[in-house]
C-alpha cells in the first residue's frame, strides 16, 4: 500500500475546496488504474483539508474505498472547557488520521515533545491513527507512532526536495519496526514523486504545495 497525503495547510475556501474535489473525483473516476489501486489496497488517498471542510468533503468521498481524511492538527486535551480546541473525540468519525508534530506546529506554535505525546495519546484513544511528522532523528527519539513522516525543514516548501538516497539513509538510521509506515514529505511534486514511490523503502508521501492543485495532485496519485 502507498499512502499519499494532501496537506492543504491554511489554504482554500469552502467553495475552492469543493471545486478541487470535483476536479479530483472526475479524474479519479476516469482512471481505471487508480480505481483498481484503491480497490486492491495498493493506494490510499488521504486528504487533510482545513477542519471546517472535513464534513462536506467526507460526504463526497463516502463510498470510495481507501479515500479518507486526516486532521492537520489535533488537540492535546480531551473534551472540556478549552475554547477553540478541536479534540480527537470531536474528530472521531470524521477522520482516519491526524498529523501530529508537523514542523510548522513545532516551530511556529512551539509544540514540544510533551504536547506531541499527549496528541498521539489522544488520537489513539479515539481510534485516530497519528502520523508523526519528524524533522530529524531527535524528533523520532522523543515520540513514536506507527506512521512516521520524515519532513526535513530545508525541504518543506522550498523546492529543494531531499534525494531518495538521503531519505533512504535517514530511514535506515531510524531502525523502524517492520510494521511501521514511513512517508516522505518536502517539496514533493509530480516530477519527483515517482523517484520515491518506486523504492520499497518509502511507503507514501506527504504533499503540501503540490496538493493544492487537483491536476498536479492527481499526477502524483497516478505515479503510484
Ligand atoms: P511542501 O509541504 O510539499 O509544500 O514542501 C509539505 C508539508 O509541509 O507537509
pLDDT 10s digits, 62-72: 999 999 999 99
Q: Answer whether 187 contacts ligand 1 (Cβ < 6 A).
A: yes
Give me the mean pLDDT over the 192-198 stretch.
Answer: 95
Q: Answer whether 157 contacts ligand 1 (Cβ < 6 A).
A: yes
Residue 1's nearest CA partner among 31, 30, 39, 33 is 39
Nine-digit cell at 176?
A: 523502524
Q: 199: pLDDT confidence band, cut at 50, 70 and 90?
A: confident
Question: Whole-prediction pTM value?
Answer: 0.97
Q: Please list the residues that pair with 116 across neighbouring strands.
A: none
pLDDT of residue 200: 86
Q: Note whether 131 and 95 are within 8 A (CB).
A: no
Which of 148, 206, 219 has most ligand 1 atoms within 8 Å of CB, for mutation? 206
Give me the mean pLDDT over the 110-120 stretch.
Answer: 98
Residue 121 predicted with pLDDT over 90: yes
Residue 196 predicted with pLDDT over 90: yes
Residue 168's nearest CA partner among 156, 184, 148 is 184
pLDDT of residue 179: 95
Give me the mean pLDDT over the 100-125 stretch.
Answer: 98
Q: Answer whether 185 contacts ligand 1 (Cβ < 6 A).
A: yes
Nine-digit cell at 52?
A: 471546517
Give me the mean pLDDT over the 15-37 stretch.
Answer: 98
HEC profile of 54-98: HHHHHHHHCCCCCEEEEECCCCCCCCCCCCCCCCHHHHECCECEE
Q: Answer whether 46 contacts ligand 1 (Cβ < 6 A).
A: no
Q: Answer whether 7 contacts ligand 1 (Cβ < 6 A).
A: yes
Residue 159 predicted with pLDDT over 90: yes
The overall average pLDDT reported for the chain is 97
Catalytic center residues = 102, 151
Residue 126's nearest CA partner among 61, 77, 80 is 77
Residue 99 three-state SS: strand
H or E element in which residue 132 lies: strand 129-134
Q: 192: pLDDT confidence band, cut at 50, 70 and 90?
A: very high
Ligand 1 nearest-atom number relative to CA 99: 9
CA of residue 71 to ligand 1 center, whole Å = 15
Amino acid at each position: 500500500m502507498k499512502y499519499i497525503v494532501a496537506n492543504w495547510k491554511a489554504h482554500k475556501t469552502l467553495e475552492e475546496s469543493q471545486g478541487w474535489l470535483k476536479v479530483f473525483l472526475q479524474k479519479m473516476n476516469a482512471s481505471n488504474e487508480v480505481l483498481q489501486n484503491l480497490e486492491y489496497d495498493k493506494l490510499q488517498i488521504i486528504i487533510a483539508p482545513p477542519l471546517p471542510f472535513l464534513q462536506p468533503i467526507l460526504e463526497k468521498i463516502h463510498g470510495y474505498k481507501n479515500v479518507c481524511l486526516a486532521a492537520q492538527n489535533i488537540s492535546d486535551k480531551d473534551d472540556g472547557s478549552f475554547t477553540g480546541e478541536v479534540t480527537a473525540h470531536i474528530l472521531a468519525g470524521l477522520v482516519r488520521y491526524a498529523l501530529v508534530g508537523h514542523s510548522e506546529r513545532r516551530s511556529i506554535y512551539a509544540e514540544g515533545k510533551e504536547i506531541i505525546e499527549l496528541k498521539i495519546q489522544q488520537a489513539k484513544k479515539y481510534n485516530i491513527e497519528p502520523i508523526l511528522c519528524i524533522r530529524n532523528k531527535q524528533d523520532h527519539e522523543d515520540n513514536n507512532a506507527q506512521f512516521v513522516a520524515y519532513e526535513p525543514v530545508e525541504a518543506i516548501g522550498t523546492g529543494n526536495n531531499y534525494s531518495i538516497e538521503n531519505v533512504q539513509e535517514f530511514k535506515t538510521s531510524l531502525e523502524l519496526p517492520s510494521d511501521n509506515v514511513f512517508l516522505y514529505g518536502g517539496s514533493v511534486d509530480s516530477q519527483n514523486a515517482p523517484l520515491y514511490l518506486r523504492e520499497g523503502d518509502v511507503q507514501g508521501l506527504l504533499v503540501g504545495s503540490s496538493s493544492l492543485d487537483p491536476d498536479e495532485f492527481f499526477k502524483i496519485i497516478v505515479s503510484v
